[in-house]
Each structure stands twice: as structure tokens, then as C-alpha cells.
Amino acid sequence: MMYKSILLASDGSDYSFRAAKEALNFRSEESVITVLSVLETEAVKYDFLQDEPGEKDIKEKHIKVLQPITELYDSNNVNYQLRLESGNPIRKVVAIANEGTYDVVVIGSRGLNAFQEMMLGSVSHQVTKKSKIPVVIVK
């Protein structure tokens, strides 16, 4: 199935890179993939306390984490855009997925934060439960 507007939730993990590759199978030439990266609020606070980076530094870290995906998409002439957010990843992904702009969410089955996954359940599982649009989970 082809989708016009794809939301790719990415945290920079190998699983999210696999999801980025899989998203290529759901697009047409007119499709736009929005690569969403949500930096956890606690991680942002920690960075500020440790290094006191500016907003520019945080944005650069975000973009660096997404670099393998942007390189993949650039080399495949994919029409994509980056959306950088901060906050709770589950709440942000669900809220953005449900705002009515996207046709599908593509997300990896596991992310970078193993402790949070153990305690709260995976982000992909929570997004699947709370999303009003289809969710593709990539292993």
C-alpha cells in the first residue's frame, strides 16, 4: 500500500534505521516522509546540567543522530522533512500522529532506552495502542 504522508518516528537506533528503510516500500513519488525525532525532556535537562549546550547544540545533536536516515533518503531521492521535538516520546509521537496530517506511522520495534521500555512498555507498543492511524512496527 502506498501512502502520501508518512510519519517515521526515529530515535537513532538500529531499529529506527530499519524502519526508515521499510518506509521506502510504502511511498510513491508524491509521498512525503516526515522524520520525527523526539528528544526526551529528561535527556535535554541532563545535557543542560552537564554541558550547558545552547539550543543550536541540541538541534545539531538531533540532526547527527538522524544522519544515517537522511543520507539514505538523500541517496534514494526521497521527499522528506525533519521534525525535531522534545518531550515524552510516546505522548509526542501519538499527538503528532493523531493531528490529522499523516496516513501512517512507521516505527522500529525497539529504541535506545531499554530501561524505559522495561518499565513502561515499548514506545512502539504504546503508539500502536493510542494512534488513530495505522502503525507499522519494523523489527
- The domain covering 3-138 belongs, at the CATH homologous superfamily level, to HUPs (3.40.50.620)
CA–CA separation, 2 and 5 (whole Å): 9
Contact in structure between 102 and 6 (CB atoms under 8 Å) = yes
Strands 104-108 and 135-138: parallel
Q: Which of the four pLDDT bands, split at 50, 70 and 90, describes residue 49?
A: very low
Q: pLDDT grade, residue 109 (50/70/90)?
A: confident
pLDDT band at 48; cut points 50, 70, 90: very low
User: Are residues 131 and 7 in contact, defined by beta-carbon separation less than 8 angstroms?
Assistant: no
Least confident window among 10-24, 42-56, 85-99, 115-129: 42-56
Q: Which of 109, 93, 114, 135 is nearest to 16 (CA)?
A: 109
Q: Residue type at 25? A: N
pLDDT at 119: 43
Quick one: what percent of the chain has pLDDT higher than 70? Answer: 79
Residue 42 pLDDT grade (very low, low, confident, very high; cuts 50, 70, 90): low
Give pTM, 2 decimals: 0.85
pLDDT band at 115 (very low <50, low <70, confident <90, very high): low
Q: Rounded CA gap, 36 and 33, in Å?
A: 9
Instruction: Tell me the pLDDT tens digit for each residue of 58-92.
Output: 678 778 889 999 999 999 999 999 999 988 999 99
